[in-house]
Amino acid sequence: MTLEAVFFDVDGTIAETERGGHRVAYNSAFRELGYPVDWDPELYGELLAIMGGKERIRFYWSQHPELGALSDAQVEQIHDVKARYFRELVDQGGIELRVGVRRLLDELASRRIPISIASTITYEGLDALLRRSLGDDWQDRFQYLGIGDIVPRKKPDPGIYLWLLERHRVDARNVVTLEDTRAGLLASVGAGIPTLITPSDYTQDQDFSEAACVASSLGDPGEPAHWRLASGAEGSGLIDVEFLEKLVSR
């Protein structure tokens, strides 16, 4: 088998965006709009089980009837204001790519292996994050952006990955997905794709037993990743194109 494409999740996978990024931005939006809500780190970690920002807002409000009902327009407003604060945090340099992400993206580009994004992040948030890290032409690196509400059901539903597979016209067994959550893992393996997990701040203790590989990061020279394959084999080094090719050949 040959590696024909690589799909990247964003939040927690490409960058540690949740604790000091999205959570802070949500709280700033709540304050600006006058909602008596503050998501502390522990609570936000629990809310991350709900995939999708607007879905997360609706779920929280459903658990707190004393806040009153939210209309769809109000949910959109909160989400839009939160996105503005998130962009500001990125512009201030508070969120960087995780170890090895830039290196692997460059290697994939040099080998002309197609790359796509699979995330609920908005285009504005993705643009802010990747423009700062990869430059104004960042979108040229990606064949498809499977983001936001492009499919009706969020992970762990495999819809976003089935959507990407259909557009790439590749066999799922010849693709590798990079994810950081169990929900993302279930979505990817549900579409038949071998999945490499790099756990993030909030997902260290999740069950990744279906993953082809779990690694501490993607690794960089002088900062190797520590990894464990589904077979139980362990090692350390860089997660590079050759490593991903071995995952699709198993």
Q: Where are the domains of the chain?
A: 5-16+97-248, 18-91
11, 80, 171, 220: the active-site residue: 11
Catalytic annotation present for 201: no
Rounded CA separation 143/158 (Å) = 19
The tens digit of pLDDT for each residue in 188-235 reads 999 999 999 999 999 999 999 999 999 999 999 999 999 999 999 999
Task: Provide the whole-model pTM.
Answer: 0.91
The tens digit of pLDDT for each residue in 220-229 reads 999 999 999 9
CATH 1.10.150.240 fits 18-91, yes or no: yes
Catalytic annotation present for 137: no
Q: Residue 193 in contact with residue 164, Cβ under 8 Å?
A: no
**How confident is residue 94, by pLDDT bands cut at 50, 70 and 90?**
confident
Q: Residue 248 in contact with residue 230, Cβ under 8 Å?
A: no
CATH superfamily of 5-16+97-248: HAD superfamily/HAD-like (3.40.50.1000)
What's the confidence (pLDDT) of residue 65? 95
The tens digit of pLDDT for each residue in 146-183 reads 999 999 999 999 999 999 999 999 999 999 999 999 99
